[in-house]
Amino acid sequence: MELEAGRIAELAGRPVSALTRRDVALGLLSVGPDDALASLPVLRRRLLAAGNPLSAEYWAAAEKILGALRDGTARPGDVRTWLEATGTEPSSIIGLHVWDEPPERSRLQAEMHAMLVRHLEEKLNAGEVDPDRLVTGDDAARQVYTALQEQWMATPLPDGRVPMDALLDEQDAEFLAEWAAADSEALTSLQEVLDEIGERPLPEDQLAAACGAARAAIARHGLTGRLLSACGGAGMSALPSSDVELWLILAAGVVSPAGEAVRPIGDGPPELPGTTGALRRTADERDDDEADEVSRVIGALCALEHVDWLAAISALARGGPGTPASATAMARYVREYGEAEPRTGPQALLREVPDVPDVPDTPDVPDDLGDPADEDFDEQAVAELFSHVASLWEVLGATDAEQRLTSLGWWGLPEAMRKVWAPST
């Protein structure tokens, strides 16, 4: 099927003489690569006759990308790079904002995207964008093109809205709504399990011992204390006096860390008189190493998702005290849960919700653990993430030295999950 210039003009809503490189590119991408390649000579003559010849660089790049699509050699991102090189297609990522694909854009995204396209057309007509340099991969031209977009995104519109702020606010609202839906679904599923089990008594003696150990660890400012403080999001002076409240805050923080400790809680250990600069540097280096470790662990905890926690806590709650709670056992519970539970309807939200934003940079945390119901589920990677959970649970007395669930963990871990997934007030 030959693609005619008139059809592209119809799609773009402007005459052939006013078609932009972006208009033509989108038209070419609307048909198969064989048809698009066959249409290139006719399109080029038609645009030339209309006084809108574009350029030799543009047509050469179009033939190259369409040929790669036809041959199956186009790399991921090649089409996007070519489209953005037209000089009026916004970059897919601008600052913190990522444009959704056209069918998935909200009304606000569609409005802002169209406005930015018009802005770039004005800049192109004014000679501030050089598409021939863009299409040949000129770095300086690309930097200018990016800067023009960033400036527009940060400049108030006539109605007072700042595009970047408006888009990020919408993105945050959507994320929170999706996360709340996943919380609600997980809480409902957990409650069904707890209703089956019945009463789980609170062991007061174990609770008192665990909270005493936690308070002592936080006061010492060591790595364990800093991890607990980062999870609970509170310094020693802000810790609640109630053992129940303290334990639940810390246990809930393992699931959903409330803060990030990168410096010692409080004023840190006192400096000894006459300490040399070399010794102070050694202490600083140790402090930095611990801060890095805290950030790494927090990142790993945040990489675990609703379905991971639901699977682990459900298995432990059903098993009761003495149930294996090692990292490998937890990963196995996640896999078994995925094999047994359907991944459709609201339940599917438990893995589809995006990761928590602003997680510390942790390159060793895998990006995609896979769905436990699929063959690509990475059980070893999940076990590595749960290794940090297992260590912290042992510190909190939720598990014993053999990493088996204690009576305190049987009572408290489900209660901590309820605290995390309860609706915000």
pLDDT in tens, 283-293: 455 556 667 88
d(C-alpha 87, C-alpha 84), whole Å: 6
Q: Which two tokens stand for residue 190?
A: 């957990």
| Mean pLDDT computed over 290-302 | 86
pLDDT in tens, 403-424: 999 999 999 999 999 999 998 7
pLDDT of amino acid 28: 95
pLDDT in tens, 363-412: 344 444 455 545 567 899 999 999 999 999 999 999 999 999 999 999 99
| Mean pLDDT computed over 186-202 | 95
Mean pLDDT of the chain: 85
**Minimum mean pLDDT among 4-18, 38-52, 281-295: which range?**
281-295
Which of 74, 152, 160, 80 lies closest to 116, judged by CA?
Answer: 152
Chain centre distance of CA 291: 22
d(C-alpha 405, C-alpha 389), whole Å: 13
pLDDT in tens, 136-169: 999 999 999 999 999 999 999 999 999 999 999 9
Chain centre distance of CA 238: 30
d(C-alpha 4, C-alpha 187), whole Å: 56
pLDDT in tens, 70-98: 999 999 899 999 999 999 999 999 999 99
Q: Which two tokens stand for residue 160?
A: 């007072």
d(C-alpha 21, C-alpha 54), whole Å: 7
In this prediction, residue 234 has a pLDDT band, given cuts at 50, 70 and 90, of: low
pLDDT of amino acid 163: 97
CA atoms within 13 A on the CB side of 291: 11
